[in-house]
Amino acid sequence: MKRRLLSFAIPLALGLALVGRPAAGEDLMQIYREAQQNDPAIAAAKAQWLATQERLPQARAGLLPSVSLSGSTNLSTYDATIKSDPAVDISRNFGQYGATVSASQPLYRMQNKIAVDQSRELLTQAEYVLGTAQQDLILRVAIAYFDVLLAQFTIEVTEAQKTAVSEQLAQAKRNFEVGVATITDTNEAQAKYDQIVATEISARNDYDNKLTALRAIIGRFPKELKKVGTELVPKAPEPNALDYWVERALKDNFSVRIAQANFDIATLEVDRAKAGHYPTLDLVGSLGVQGSNGSVNVGVSSDSRQALIGLQLAMPIYAGGAIESRVREAVALKEKTRQDLETARRFALFNAQTGYSGVNSAVASVKAFEQALVSAQTAYASNKLGQEVGVRTNLDVLNTQQLVFSTRRDVAQAYFNYLTGQLRLKSAVGDLSETDLEEINRQLRG
């Protein structure tokens, strides 16, 4: 009986929202691919990821040799008068030049070494941040896509309902004219009709808003969208065990991973701040050349060269308490990241639990609303027949008819809640990917 009821209920409930029209439309993956190219949020995330990749080379530079070249050249004019008898005038023009190549190789700089370890953690964190942005894009595209379909279906249901009520109104007017019905039936049908007209205006406005939301992601208004096929059968999560999803979320949720990386970086920052007390040792060397073609006192040329190589040790003794202050600051920030990590874990647990419950609830809702639709259809048919034999009023028919149409939308909403719920659950455990979107896309028709 179940499949027989479903085969009757699904086409009736979802109509054009699930069964595609003959004309081909844009599918979910086409919209997603375009969003990857045009969505500013994912573009910003990728740019941030690229920028973060440069942190490791910058940190490594603190452990690698540095070489610099400096040089100078000067032209000097010297004029002097010696007030003797007779007076002596001295005038000389001479040039001076010099060049020095200096090199330094760090041998022991603990702060720089820790900075390299921090940059590696930053690169790992950047992967998680980009993964979060990619998951967010998948969710935003899917939700926006199904919001458009549901808004479009709502308009179609409202139009169908308006047509049906219009027929009821016309019939009520005819019956009143021939004296087999009261003016009350006409007024009730008119009130229902006016209400549906107002609902249709609201539905069209909502549809425009949903289109605009999708446009904000892909940079243009979408064309006709493919709809979900009627062969879709909602299933419970696999495995259908809450503990499995909670454990995965606590370990693999991207927000938890990002928070864990922040904690690890903060831990290293404490060590880096403490390393301010440590000495530094560098291997240094330089080669200098100087020369001139004269001087103030003599007019002969000179050239000289000087080379040196050695070790340079620096030992911090007292820096006004700055190092101790930075250590205390780093310890406090480490505690903050510890609490942030705990917050991320609790949110991950909450999202996993609500995501798991949401999928199961959507599965149950689909079945319940499908059965409710069958019952509503039966009630409508019974009231229609009862009106014909005089045991049901026009209002009874209108009310059961409205229940049929509202339940049709509830079924469509339940299906879309199921599809997005699956994606949200995968996102909660850090496992949402294009593959999940492709699986849904294979169920589209039209």
The tens digit of pLDDT for each residue in 266-311 reads 999 999 999 999 999 999 999 999 988 877 666 667 888 999 999 9
Note the pLDDT of residue 446.
57
* Per-residue confidence band for 132, with pLDDT thresholds at 50, 70 and 90: very high
* In the predicted structure, residue 197 carries a pLDDT above the cut 80: yes
295-324 burial code (b ≥16 CB/10 A, e <16) = eeeeeeeeeeeeeeeeeeeeeeeeeeeebe
Vertex 213 angle, CA 208 and 216, to 5°: 125
Query: Greater confidence, 178 or 441?
Result: 441
Query: Greater confidence, 276 or 384?
Result: 276
Q: Which of 436, 431, 414 is nearest to 359 (CA)?
A: 414
> Average pLDDT of 370-397?
88
Note the pLDDT of residue 102.
97
CA 170 to chain CA mean position, Å: 52
* Per-residue confidence band for 24, with pLDDT thresholds at 50, 70 and 90: low
328-359 burial code (b ≥16 CB/10 A, e <16) = eebeebbeebeebbeebbebbbebbbebbebb
For 102, the enclosing helix (H) or strand (E) is strand 88-108
* Per-residue confidence band for 13, with pLDDT thresholds at 50, 70 and 90: very low
Note the pLDDT of residue 277.
95
How far lies 158's CA from each of 199, 229, 274, 401, in Å?
A: 7, 21, 69, 12
Note the pLDDT of residue 6.
33
Percent of the chain residues topping a pLDDT of 70: 93
User: Distance (Å, rounded) from C-alpha 396 to C-alpha 385?
Assistant: 11
Mapping DSSP to helix (H, G, I), strand (E, B) and coil, where does residue 46 land? helix
Q: Identify the bridge partners of residue 71 per DSSP, sorted by sequence position.
A: 99
- Kindly report which listed range (165-179, 407-421, 425-439) carries the lowest average pLDDT score: 165-179
Q: In terms of C-beta distances under 8 Å and separation of at least 24 residues, what long-range contacts does 343-348 make, across chains too?
A: 343/259, 344/253, 344/255, 344/256, 344/258, 344/259, 345/250, 345/256, 345/259, 347/255, 348/249, 348/250, 348/253, 348/255, 348/256, 348/428
Note the pLDDT of residue 16.
38
User: Distance (Å, rounded) from C-alpha 90 to C-alpha 338?
Assistant: 77
* Per-residue confidence band for 235, with pLDDT thresholds at 50, 70 and 90: very high
> Average pLDDT of 5-24?
42
Q: What is the pLDDT of residues 29-75, one digit of tens each?
A: 999 999 999 999 999 999 999 999 999 999 999 999 999 999 999 88
CB 428 within 8 A of CB 249: yes
User: Distance (Å, rounded) from C-alpha 384 to C-alpha 407?
Assistant: 18
DSSP 62: G
> Average pLDDT of 331-357?
97
Note the pLDDT of residue 86.
78
> Average pLDDT of 232-245?
94
Strand-pair category, 302-314 with 88-108: unpaired
* Per-residue confidence band for 390, with pLDDT thresholds at 50, 70 and 90: confident
* Per-residue confidence band for 11, with pLDDT thresholds at 50, 70 and 90: very low
* In the predicted structure, residue 411 carries a pLDDT above the cut 90: yes
* In the predicted structure, residue 122 carries a pLDDT above the cut 60: yes
User: Distance (Å, rounded) from C-alpha 128 to C-alpha 124?
Assistant: 7
Q: DSSP E strands: which ranges in 134-257?
A: 227-228
Percent of the chain residues topping a pLDDT of 90: 71
Question: Is residue 36 classed exposed, middle or buried when 0-12, 13-18 and 19+ CB atoms within 10 A define those classes?
Answer: middle
User: Distance (Å, rounded) from C-alpha 349 to C-alpha 334?
Assistant: 23
For 180, the enclosing helix (H) or strand (E) is none
* In the predicted structure, residue 127 carries a pLDDT above the cut 90: yes
Note the pLDDT of residue 131.
97
Domains of the chain: 2-65+109-278+320-445 (1.20.1600.10)
* In the predicted structure, residue 348 carries a pLDDT above the cut 90: yes
DSSP letters of 318-372? --TTHHHHHHHHHHHHHHHHHHHHHHHHHHHHHHHHHHHHHHHHHHHHHHHHHHH
